[in-house]
Chains A and B, each alone.
Chain A
Amino acid sequence: EVQLVESGGGLVQPGGSLRLSCAASGFTVSSNYMSWVRQAPGKGLEWVSVIYSGGSTYYADSVKGRFTISRHNSKNTLYLQMNSLRAEDTAVYYCARVEGSGLYYFDYWGQGTLVTVSS
Chain B
Amino acid sequence: SYVLTQPPSVSVAPGKTARITCGGNNIGSKSVHWYQQKPGQAPVLVIYYDSDRPSGIPERFSGSNSGNTATLTISRVEAGDEADYYCQVWDSSSDHPNWVFGGGTKLTVL
Contacts and interface: CB of A to CB of B under 8 A. Distances in A.
Contacts of A106: 33, 35, 43, 45, 88, 99
Interface size class of B (residues with CB under 8 A): 20 to 34
Nearest to B99: A47
Contacts of B48: 99-100, 105, 107
B90 A100 contact: yes
Contacts of A99: 48
Given A59-B96, A105-B88, A105-B90, A46 B101 contact: yes
Interface residues of A, number: 23
Contacts of A58: 96-97
Interface in B26-44: 30-31, 33, 35, 37, 41-44
Q: Which 8 A-B pairs have the closest CB atoms?
A: A103-B31, A47-B99, A105-B33, A109-B42, A104-B90, A45-B101, A44-B104, A58-B96
